[in-house]
Amino acid sequence: MQLDSVQLRHGQVTATVCIYAAHVTRFAVRGKDVLFLSQRALFEPPKVKSSLPGHLGVSFALLQAIRGGVPIIFPQFSGRGKLPSHGFARNQYWRVVSKEGDRSVTLALEDTEETRRLYPPFRALYTVTLTDDASLELTFRVEAKERELSFTFALHSYFAIGKIEQTFVTGLKGVQYEDQLQGSRIETDQNERIAIDREVDRVYLGVPPQLSIVDGSNSRTIRLSTSDTLPDAVVWNPWEAKALKMAADFGPTEYHNMLCVEVAAVGAPVIVKPRESWVASHTISVADDGSRL
């Protein structure tokens, strides 16, 4: 790994946080990875210019995002606005502001001359903590300075799973979602278990605070819990054809071993008034409960 990172350890859990992008690249429980990281993930991020139409030709120097782990999606989810897709928080160098032993680290990102050309001033703080009950706790806080902020947000978590055909998501039965593969058409899925057997790109709106990923071939359940400031969730697997288009940093068969379940605030923009702040938190844990299909 070419980038400076912070290693966290507490009891039987470990995590790795890249200072670049404040990117959690690894979270393991008893040595078993919970997060997926592509074998082709780029850690020496090349500068990519993102020409932003409608910004008077402003070209915004973006660094490559790391494919896997937990990219921070701020201040824009996907193409829901004029910024580069998925915003810029995942393409910038953050800085460590504090550590609590080996179990917690807090990083900060503030506006720069470049971001101010596209987005109001802000200060973001992100704390990654390993808890006493072997969970990974992620807390994101953003403060508005003199101008109001409007943004969409997600923690774009890539989960490591044994076999996609023995994997399903629970907790989303009957929840409306925008099918990104069908022009954001509104659908619902009445299945208790959402199976993944093709490309899936769904933005669920108004989800319960607990979701689970049953990783059947690993006989485990990955449990996700969120604050009420993250009312939405995205389920994404690129499947075969899209995986081939992502070959620069994603292997052609890696879609078999990953699933993104991203806790989010994307259905409606988050508004933060000047001098106020917004906080979102998300906890990831694992139950080796023998879950199988």
Q: Residues in the site for ligand TA6, rule: CB under 6 A?
A: 65, 78, 85-86, 156, 180, 201, 234, 236, 260, 262
Give which of 238, 235, 261 is closest to 251, Cα–Cα: 238
**Taking Cα atoms as reference points, which of 286, 4, 287, 282 lies closest to residue 129?**
282
Residue among 156, 178, 254, 282 flagged as catalytic? 156
Residue whose C-beta lies closest to ligand TA6: 236
Per the annotation, the verdict on 44 as an active-site residue is no
With beta carbons less than 8 A apart as the criterion, state whether 223 and 209 touch.
no
Minimum distance, C-beta of residue 136 to ligand TA6, in the bound complex (Å): 19
Task: Say how far apart CA 267 and CA 230 lie, in whole Å.
Answer: 10
Coil, strand or helix at 266: strand
For 11-148, strand residue ranges (E) read 13-18, 23-29, 32-33, 47-51, 59-63, 72-73, 95-100, 104-110, 122-130, 136-144
Cβ at position 287, least distance to ligand TA6 in Å: 25
Q: Residue 45's CB: how many other CB atoms inside 10 A?
A: 18
Nearer Cβ to ligand TA6, position 15 or 234? 234
CB of 145 to ligand TA6, least distance (A): 27
The least distance separating ligand TA6 from the CB of residue 260, rounded to whole angstroms, comes to 6
199 is catalytic: no
User: Smaller CB distance to ligand TA6: residue 5 or 64?
Assistant: 64
Nearest residue to 73 via CA among 85, 86, 82, 57 = 86
Cβ-based neighbour number of residue 137 at 10 Å? 17
Task: Please choose, from the candidates 140, 177, 156, 124, the residue with its C-alpha nearest in 3D space to the C-alpha of residue 224.
Answer: 156
With respect to ligand TA6, which residue has the nearer C-beta, 180 or 217? 180
Q: Which is nearer to ligand TA6, 31 or 53 (CB)?
A: 53
218, 190, 209, 197: which is closest to 292 by C-alpha?
218
What six digits make up the tokens of 259? Answer: 């699933």
Selected catalytic residue, list 143, 178, 254, 262 = 262
What is the nearest approach in angstroms of ligand TA6 to the Cβ of residue 78?
Answer: 4
Give whichever of 237 and 281 is closer to ligand TA6, judged by the CB atom.
237
Just list the catalytic residues. 156, 262
